[in-house]
């Protein structure tokens, strides 16, 4: 009797049918709507948009529903969809200085123009399960106030005016696009930032954490963290000027780091930068720390051999779609290779100690 | 899936991949970087092969997909269905009828012809990767033709184990220039790498394409006193009696009894249709 798995096609169809049923769960329970996911699981939606590299809350919500809440699977769905979208062009750089901030905090100055705006944050909640939510109670409306009419300046600009923070080199060069060109090393900062902003939140968090614990330590202050909407503008060649084509919510984090100076630079502060779609605080702070760690060469610092300083290591392993695909592919059949290994190990055993395996003895 | 372009990818992307393929054919064994796209199947599951196939297929082609030599393994079924849906090309399980064959881990037993293209799915295109993890270093080693490390590895195998302990993905030297990973085919298949058909290798996650034009010289690395040996299980196929095909070992019952069957299912089926039989083919008839 030949027992090898046959009928793959039927098995796949049945598996998909079962998966669809499991996704739905008990039909005694009302089905989740895309709008419910978009509105009530918005931080999950934000993560899927950030790591899926596609700003579309409805599509991200759909992906989360289809993926049964598995966010990496949802990110994968969004990425695969993104492949099919035509590329019309590139927007102008967004002006985060013009951001309509819902939240803006600085850990370096007690107060600054624009103020400390806590916004909607988990930060000072006590992490006690709120059983009232299980009873589906209505939420009282939060008090409102008038938004500041003028733009909120970046904290780092104040340090820059004083000349005690490193100047960022300005350039009009078109940055590379890691979704259109194969990654090559050294990648340079624009590609590093692109890779980090779509990198796996857990991976980037772990890398950032390692720098805090002494693997290429560079103590970071959160100079500023701001969350809000910015306008996206695009130059239209036919018109000869830029028009606003929409707005996106972003989280921007700029860290201020100690720097004792190098052969060429006086002691000053340096920066790390994080910019992520949606309200994604943890990710943007982590991104800024890893960005700063990767800048050791540019700042003339020592390479301590720490993982977070290693551009090729960090960028090659930050993408969770690449990682999960390759990790999970070992579920696929490998019997041809395993057979080759079986033959080899049997042969090597025969040669090393002259013993025969039970299998060979039987024949 | 009518809303997608022929073979899923848009024409600009296919052109970009074709340029990489042409470059790869012009420099046999050299790994050409290409801007791999996210496909609707996971990285590591054949996205490189799928992108190469998508850029290679024309509406007139007949497409065959094998995984472990078999047409009916789940991932082969899935990829074949993908192109049935997105390209609407004819598909076949018969090796001789296919014009494009996408494969994972095997080269078909039947000799391929100059009218055919064999597309390999490649997990790790870099033959030096497990000797040197850094891409920046391995690219330098290739450009300098600096393959001493690989020979040292093979030598160490012999000194430790008495034999070269690589059973699959056995490294080859192409046209006397580049050392190349033939993808994880068993070393039994290595001699077949010199063939009449075009061979294209696609690594999606690692963003590399490489190729072997027809009749390219491909030498499996070895030493004069330890020559390369293409090995297989020392049995005939229990279903078709073939003595020249690569075999899968199948555990048949709780007592651990084994049978050996051709890994190339089309080869085995064709032989049985021609009247060949093996030790267990009568039992299989039920």
Q: A259-268 long-range CB contacts below 8 Å, 24 or more apart?
A: A259/A166, A259/A299, A262/A299, A262/A300, A262/A301, A263/A300, A264/A300, A265/A166, A265/A299, A265/A300, A268/A163, A268/A164, A268/A165, A268/A166
Task: Choose the final residue of a domain: B196, B220, B244.
Answer: B220
Confirm whether B5 is domain-assigned. Answer: no
Q: How confident is the model over A241-290, as pLDDT tens digits?
A: 999 999 999 999 999 998 877 777 788 999 999 999 999 999 999 999 99
What is the ipTM for the molecules in this complex? 0.86
Task: List chain A residues with CB under 8 Å of B205.
Answer: 322, 325-326
Q: In the numeric block, which tokens belong to residue B34?
A: 């290409």
Q: Is A133 on the interface with B (CB under 8 A)?
A: no
Q: Are B193 and B252 members of one domain?
A: no
Confirm whether B227 is domain-assigned. Answer: no
Q: How confident is the model over A328-341, as pLDDT tens digits?
A: 999 998 989 999 99
Q: Are B80 and B113 members of one domain?
A: yes
Confidence at residue A151, expressed as pLDDT on a 0 to 100 scale = 92
> Alpha-carbon dihedral of residues A121, A124, A126, A129, nearest 10 degrees?
0
Residue of A nearest to B169 (CA): A337
Confirm whether B32 is domain-assigned. Answer: yes
Q: Is the dihedral of CA B194, B196, B198, B199 positive or negative?
A: negative
Task: List chain A residues with CB under 8 Å of B183.
Answer: none
Q: What is the mean pLDDT of residues A47-76?
A: 98
Q: Are B254 and B206 members of one domain?
A: no
Task: Choose the final residue of a domain: B199, B220, B241.
Answer: B220
pLDDT at A4 over 50: no
Confidence at residue A74, expressed as pLDDT on a 0 to 100 scale = 98
Confidence at residue A299, expressed as pLDDT on a 0 to 100 scale = 86
Q: Are B24 and B142 members of one domain?
A: yes
- Is the peptide bond between B92 and the residue preceding it cis, with omega within 30 degrees of 0? no
Phi, psi at residue B25, to the nearest 5°? -70, -30
Cα separations in angstroms, A78 against A82, A219, B87: 6, 35, 22
Confidence at residue B151, expressed as pLDDT on a 0 to 100 scale = 95
Cα diameter, chain A: 87
Are B73 and A5 in contact (CB < 8 Å)? yes
Q: Are B96 and B208 members of one domain?
A: yes
Q: Are B197 and B257 members of one domain?
A: no
Cβ neighbours of B262 (radius 10 Å): 28
CATH of residue B213:
3.40.50.11310
The nearest CA of chain A is from the CA of B122 a distance in Å of 11
Residues 66-105 of A with CB under 8 A from B: 76, 79-80, 82-84, 86
Phi, psi at residue B245, to the nearest 5°? -110, 155
Domain boundaries, chain A: 13-83, 96-119+150-167+181-324, 333-361
**DSSP-derived pairing of the beta strands B32-33 and A220-236:** unpaired
Are A84 and B4 in contact (CB < 8 Å)? yes
**Total count of domains within chain B:** 2
Phi, psi at residue A232, to the nearest 5°? -105, 120
- Which residues of B does the annotation mark as catalytic? 29, 237, 240, 262, 268
Confirm whether B1 is domain-assigned. Answer: no
B248 lies in which domain range? 232-286
Are B43 and A186 in contact (CB < 8 Å)? no
Task: List chain B residues with CB under 8 Å of A334.
Answer: 68, 105, 184
Residues 201-230 of B with CB under 8 A from A: 205, 207-208
Q: Is A340 on the interface with B (CB under 8 A)?
A: yes
Q: How confident is the model over A195-217, as pLDDT tens digits?
A: 999 999 999 999 999 999 999 98
């Amino acid at each position: 009797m030949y027992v090898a798995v046959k009928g793959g096609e039927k098995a796949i169809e049945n598996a998909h049918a079962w998966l669809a049923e499991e996704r739905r769960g008990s039909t005694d329970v009302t089905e989740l709507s895309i709008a419910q996911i978009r509105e009530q699981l918005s931080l999950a939606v934000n993560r899927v948009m950030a790591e899926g590299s596609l700003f579309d809350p409805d599509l991200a919500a759909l992906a989360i529903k289809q993926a049964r809440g598995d966010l990496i699977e949802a990110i994968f769905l969004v990425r695969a969809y993104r492949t099919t979208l035509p590329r019309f062009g590139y927007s102008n750089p967004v002006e985060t200085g013009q951001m309509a901030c819902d939240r803006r905090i600085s850990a370096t100055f007690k107060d600054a123009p624009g103020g400390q705006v806590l916004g909607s944050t988990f930060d000072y909640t006590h992490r006690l399960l709120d059983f009232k939510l299980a009873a589906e109670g209505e939420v009282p409306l939060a008090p409102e106030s008038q938004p500041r009419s003028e733009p909120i300046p970046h904290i780092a600009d104040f340090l820059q005016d004083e000349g005690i923070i490193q100047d960022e080199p300005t350039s009009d060069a078109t940055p590379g696009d890691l979704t259109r060109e194969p990654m090559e090393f050294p990648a340079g900062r624009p590609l590093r930032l692109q890779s980090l902003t779509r990198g796996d939140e857990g991976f980037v968090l772990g890398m950032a954490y390692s720098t805090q614990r002494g693997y290429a330590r560079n103590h970071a202050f959160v100079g500023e963290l701001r969350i809000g909407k910015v306008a996206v503008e695009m130059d239209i060649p036919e018109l000869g000027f830029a028009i606003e084509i929409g707005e996106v919510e972003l989280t921007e984090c700029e860290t201020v780091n100690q720097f004792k100076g190098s052969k060429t630079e006086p002691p000053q502060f340096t920066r790390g930068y994080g910019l992520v779609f949606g309200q994604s605080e943890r990710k943007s702070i982590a991104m800024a720390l890893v960005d700063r760690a990767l800048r050791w060469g540019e700042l003339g610092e020592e390479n301590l051999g720490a993982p977070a300083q290693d551009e090729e290591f960090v960028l090659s392993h930050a993408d969770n779609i690449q990682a999960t695909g390759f990790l999970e592919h070992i579920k696929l059949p490998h019997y041809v290779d395993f057979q080759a290994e079986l033959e080899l190990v049997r042969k090597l055993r025969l040669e090393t100690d002259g013993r025969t395996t039970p299998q060979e003895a039987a024949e | 899936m009518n809303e997608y372009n022929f073979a899923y990818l848009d024409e600009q992307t296919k052109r970009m991949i074709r340029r990489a393929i042409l470059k790869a054919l012009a420099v046999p064994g050299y790994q050409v970087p290409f801007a791999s796209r996210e496909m609707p199947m996971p990285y590591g599951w054949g996205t490189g092969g799928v992108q190469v196939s998508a850029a290679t297929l024309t509406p007139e082609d007949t497409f065959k997909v094998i995984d472990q030599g078999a047409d009916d393994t789940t991932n082969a079924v899935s990829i074949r269905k993908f192109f049935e849906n997105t390209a609407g090309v004819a598909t076949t399980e018969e090796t001789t009828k296919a014009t494009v064959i996408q494969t994972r881990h095997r080269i078909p037993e039947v000799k391929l012809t100059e009218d055919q293209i064999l597309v390999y799915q490649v997990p790790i295109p870099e033959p030096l990767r497990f000797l040197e993890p850094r891409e920046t270093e391995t690219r330098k080693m290739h450009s300098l033709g600096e393959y001493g490390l690989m020979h040292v590895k093979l030598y160490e195998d012999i000194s430790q184990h008495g034999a070269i302990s690589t059973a699959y993905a056995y490294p080859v030297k192409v046209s006397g220039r580049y050392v190349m990973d033939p993808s994880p085919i068993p070393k039994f298949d290595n001699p077949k790498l010199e063939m009449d058909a075009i061979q294209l290798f696609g690594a999606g996650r690692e963003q590399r394409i490489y190729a072997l034009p027809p009749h390219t010289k491909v030498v499996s690395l070895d030493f004069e006193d330890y020559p390369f040996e293409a090995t297989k299980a020392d049995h005939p196929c229990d279903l078709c009696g073939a003595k020249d095909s690569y075999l899968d070992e199948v555990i048949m019952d709780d007592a651990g009894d084994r049978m050996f069957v051709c890994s190339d299912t089309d080869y085995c089926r064709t032989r049985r249709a021609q009247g060949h039989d093996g030790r267990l083919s009568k039992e299989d008839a039920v």
